[in-house]
Amino acid sequence: MKIFKTCILATLVGLGGCGGDTQTVKTTTEPTPEQPAELPAPPPFNPTDAENIALVPSPVETEKALVAAGIDTRLSSLIPDRTLDMDVADLDQAALRSGVVLADMLLTVKTAEKEELLAYLSKIRVGMKQLRGGKDIDATLRDMTERIRADSVSRGELLKEFDELSGAVIPELEFNGNDRVVPLIEAGSWVEGANLVSRAVKEKGDSTSADQLLKQPAVVDYFSRYVKKEGDRAPEAITKQLVESLDALHGLAKKTDPLTMEDIDTVILVTDNVLKLL
């Protein structure tokens, strides 16, 4: 009986008959369709990866887009009077505020008064020290300050240097091993930049240029993933406001129709709401 069962099993799996006088049983089986290979899981989201950092538009790109759109508003005139304490103990706040001030400096470098630029650099130096950016970045900012004070550098040269500062120098800093700092600096800069650009578009009264300047779904996705990944490390009220604001911006970025002036008002509103948290 045991031999019989073994023969049946062998036949069912297409191995032929068992030994002895039994005849070989030929079987025909339908070919098994190939199963698609299981795709590997995507790597964990790392906000400090170079490919993610590169998503955030540089000030040079933003400035070129503004010129191409015919927007000649002095962005410095749109920056509200506010006092941002850069020496704040909360490092998340210090990073976000540093990003906001960095955007103000970068986007107004060609039109801001000398004293305004010096004030921005002074605040960024305080922020970098608070975030433990290191001696090298402090020396770089001090050198920039001295050259601006001495009128020994052109605004065009400064724009390029500030662009490198935000796009390469600061993202490469280790900040004492705190990997939250760079994405938060970027977030502060991007929100402030979107706010100022939206205000400039509104002041011009023509939204036809807004798509090129504000429709950046990849950037919104980047920050949305970051908030979802790190949201439990921030107060619930702040996370909720960030998620709501990013959802609104994501919806506008995905629009197939051109942005309207009402959309511009929405961008101003939601970015204002985030900036008020600072």
CA distance 128 to 117: 16
Domain boundaries, the chain: 53-276
pTM: 0.76
User: What is residue 185's DSSP assignment?
Assistant: H
Least confident piece of the model among 4-18, 106-120, 135-149: 4-18
Answer positive or negative: Cα dihedral of 219, 156, 143, 81: negative
Of 75, 106, 102, 95, nearest to 204 by C-alpha is: 75
pLDDT of res. 31: 54
Report the 10 Å Cβ neighbour count for 270. 23
Report the 10 Å Cβ neighbour count for 240. 12
Highest mean predicted confidence (pLDDT) among 91-100, 102-111, 130-139: 130-139
Q: Residues with Cβ < 8 Å from 182, sequence gap 6 or more?
A: 47, 48, 53, 170, 171, 173, 175
pLDDT in tens, 129-172: 999 999 999 999 999 999 999 999 999 999 889 988 888 889 88
Q: Residues with Cβ < 8 Å from 197, sequence gap 6 or more?
A: 62, 66, 75, 213, 214
pLDDT in tens, 203-254: 988 888 888 888 888 888 888 777 777 766 666 777 777 788 888 888 998 8
Structure tokens at 226: 């970051």
